[in-house]
């Protein structure tokens, strides 16, 4: 039986084997937590509940794709110098099998943060999603510390949030507050979560729970701090970290109930408009999105943007960015309502062009790349609709410059563009064989590639009949 399947219940039922034959001890406080109603959970169920199917798909190292999110576990391996160790990084993908294999095989100190990262380096900059907020408590008061900890979220006065899991790490405890939906670690959210974690850490490290409650002894850790893996060896080398479920998953709104107003998290969304004000200004949106939970609506873009990107790919795609170029085409296909058979046809034709750029035998552009790119089209989630120009340019390696109006409104900017056109072309209205109204519509569309006919009507004053007539004439 592997340690990934070892939990408190299994240990108690087979104590003669674990303690007698294997010499495995219970971690401190495990028995007390079980007596308080904690439900034993093995490593497999624990990490499946935290990460779900949210991490990137498994690939061989040579097929690594930049821009995908995986977990990162670290094994600390002793060297010949007993005082020194080397770290071995393990990328954890969908299904967590790499993590379970590590837990099963290793007798070293192993740790992982409930965080997904872009790329291979476990840095704050690369952190993308937080799956659980974890607070570590050491030096538990031996007589009543665990009892006081459980009392803190059951009492009616100065109530504390209840953790989803408690992990006995050997001598201390890790409180896991697992989110119903992972929290994107934008800079503003990282900062807010850091303040929240510091606030709760101070409250949990009190004199009733721990003997190390003084300010200089409290351990304040980063939001993406890694912790000892459930099922791996504890610090004393005799016990294995065990997990217990103690509560439900949490939300930002749940945390806010226990936070003072100046620390409540309210900037997870990019808009700073209060919901009460949004309800007043946009009652239909509020009813659909907030009350009924319907998905967001989307603006459809003109299909010319999709075909324009194909030309940009043919001219500017380079090795190292080929997959991102094709994947962005699939994103635009979603936005422009391109038929699926057309998207697949274009992707396969472009794949031949991209394959011609191959420089080495170990870096061909394959059928697998096409299928991975098409996944964006068929999933058609929020990520396919909402992409910033600077993000696209960085991912694809193709320079993109947004239209600049230098602070002017579209109408004012268009008025200036028309004036310049008239100065440079005295014969604009009659002598060039083109109708003035046609040029107005086409000029407006060039300035507003995402614009709609109603906006063109409002800004140019042209009738809807005229706009319809010249809208699709190149």
As a three-state string, the secondary structure of 229-267 is: CCCCECCCCCEECEEEECCCCECHHHHHCCCCHHHCCCC
- pLDDT higher for 133 or 416? 133
Positions of E strands within 65-201? 69-78, 85-92, 109-112, 115-118, 127-137, 165-168, 173-184
State residue 270's pLDDT score: 39
* Residues in CB range of 163: below 8 A, 6 or more apart: 135, 153, 175, 176, 177, 246, 247
Average pLDDT over residues 445-449: 84
Residues 6+ apart with CB under 8 A from 72: 89, 90, 91, 92, 112, 113, 115, 117, 120, 122
**Per-residue pLDDT tens digits for 134-153:** 999 999 999 999 999 999 99
Q: Two tokens at 433?
A: 């064989």
Range in 171-175, 248-252, 258-262, 270-274 the model is least confident about: 270-274
Beta-bridge partners for 72: 91
Residue-level pLDDT at 33: 97
Residue 427: its pLDDT value, please?
45
Q: Which residues pair with 127 in a beta bridge?
A: 117
Long-range interactions of 333-337: CB distance < 8 A, separation 24+: 333/306, 333/377, 334/376, 334/377, 334/380, 334/384, 334/385, 335/298, 335/300, 335/301, 335/305, 335/306, 335/384, 335/385, 336/300, 336/301, 336/302, 336/303, 336/305, 336/306, 337/300, 337/303
Q: Decide which of 241 and 466 is more confident.
A: 241
Rounded Cα distance, 75 and 56, in Å: 21
How far is residue 129's CA from residue 30's CA, in Å, rounded to a whole number?
A: 30
pLDDT at 425 over 60: no
When mean pLDDT is compared across 13-17, 125-129, 404-408, the lowest value belongs to 404-408
Least confident of 173-182, 232-241, 280-289: 280-289
State which of 71-75, 117-121, 214-218 shows the largest mean pLDDT: 71-75
Q: Which residue bears the tokens 């943007």? A: 305
For 33, 36, 209, 369, the CA distances from 148, given in Å and listed in that order, are 12, 11, 6, 55
Average pLDDT (153-160) is: 93
Give the percent of the chain with pLDDT over 70: 82
Q: Is pLDDT above 50 for 434? A: no
- Largest Cα separation within the chain, whole Å, is 101
pTM score: 0.59
Per-residue confidence at 196, pLDDT binned at 50, 70, 90? very high
Could you tell me the pLDDT band of residue 433, with boundaries at 50, 70 and 90?
very low
pLDDT at 284: 64
The mean pLDDT of 158-179, rounded to a whole number, is 96
Residue at token pair 């960085």: 394
* Digit-coded pLDDT (tens) for 308-355: 999 999 999 998 889 999 999 999 998 898 888 888 889 989 998 998
Q: How far apart are CA 214 and CA 212, in angstroms?
A: 6
H helices within 294-409, ranges in order? 303-316, 322-335, 340-355, 367-379, 382-385, 389-396
Q: How many CB atoms lie within 10 A of CB 205?
A: 22
For residue 109, which phi and psi values (nearest 5 degrees)? Answer: -70, 120
Residue 468: what pLDDT? Answer: 82
pLDDT at residue 384, as a whole number:
75
Which letter, b or e, does each residue of 397-432 get, where b requires 16 or more Cβ atoms within 10 Å of its Cβ? ebeeeeeeeeeeebeebbeeebeeeeeeeeeeeeee
- The neighbour count for residue 338, using CB atoms within 10 Å, is 18
Q: How many CB atoms lie within 10 A of CB 232?
A: 25
pLDDT at 118: 83
pLDDT of residue 30: 96
């Amino acid at each position: 039986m592997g340690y990934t399947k070892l939990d408190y219940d299994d240990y108690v039922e087979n104590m003669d084997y674990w303690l007698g034959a294997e010499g495995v001890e219970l971690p401190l406080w495990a028995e007390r937590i079980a007596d308080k109603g904690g439900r034993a959970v093995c490593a497999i169920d624990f990490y499946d509940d935290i990460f779900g199917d949210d991490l990137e798909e498994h690939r061989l190292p040579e097929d690594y794709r930049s821009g995908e999110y995986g977990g990162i576990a670290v094994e600390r391996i002793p060297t010949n110098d007993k005082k020194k160790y080397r770290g071995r990084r393990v990328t954890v993908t969908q299904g967590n099998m790499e993590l379970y294999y590590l837990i099963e095989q290793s007798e070293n100190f192993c740790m992982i943060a409930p965080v997904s990262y872009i790329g291979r380096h476990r840095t704050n900059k690369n952190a993308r999603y937080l799956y659980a907020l974890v607070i570590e408590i050491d030096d538990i008061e031996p007589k009543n510390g665990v009892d006081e900890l459980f009392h803190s979220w059951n009492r009616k006065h100065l109530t504390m949030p209840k953790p989803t899991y408690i992990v006995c790490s050997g001598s201390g405890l890790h409180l896991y507050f697992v989110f119903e939906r992972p929290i994107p670690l934008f800079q503003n959210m990282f900062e807010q979560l850091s303040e929240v974690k510091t606030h709760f850490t101070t409250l949990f490290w009190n004199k009733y729970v721990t003997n190390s409650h003084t300010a200089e002894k409290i351990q304040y850790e980063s939001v993406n701090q890694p912790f000892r893996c459930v099922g791996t060896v504890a610090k004393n080398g005799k016990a294995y970290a065990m997990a217990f479920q103690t509560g439900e998953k949490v939300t930002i709104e749940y945390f806010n109930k226990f936070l003072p107003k100046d620390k409540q998290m309210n900037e997870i969304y990019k808009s700073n408009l209060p919901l009460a004000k949004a309800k007043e200004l946009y009652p239909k949106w509020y009813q659909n999105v907030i009350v009924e939970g319907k998905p967001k609506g989307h603006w459809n873009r003109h299909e010319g943007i999709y075909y324009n990107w194909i030309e940009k790919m043919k001219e500017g795609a380079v090795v190292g960015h080929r997959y991102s170029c094709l994947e962005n085409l699939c994103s635009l296909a979603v936005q422009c309502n391109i038929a699926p058979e057309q998207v697949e046809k274009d992707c396969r034709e472009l794949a031949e062009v991209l394959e011609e750029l191959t420089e080495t035998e170990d870096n061909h552009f394959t059928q697998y790349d096409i299928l991975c790119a098409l996944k964006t089209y068929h999933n058609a989630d929020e990520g396919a609709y909402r992409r910033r120009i600077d993000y696209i340019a960085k991912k694809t390696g193709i320079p993109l410059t947004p239209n600049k109006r230098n602070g002017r409104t579209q109408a004012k900017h268009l008025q200036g563009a028309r004036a310049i056109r008239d100065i440079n072309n005295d014969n604009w209205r009659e002598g060039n064989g083109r109708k003035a109204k046609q040029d107005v519509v086409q000029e407006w569309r060039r300035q507003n590639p995402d614009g709609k006919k109603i906006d063109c009507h409002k800004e140019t004053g042209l009738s809807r009949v005229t706009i319809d007539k010249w809208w699709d004439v190149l």
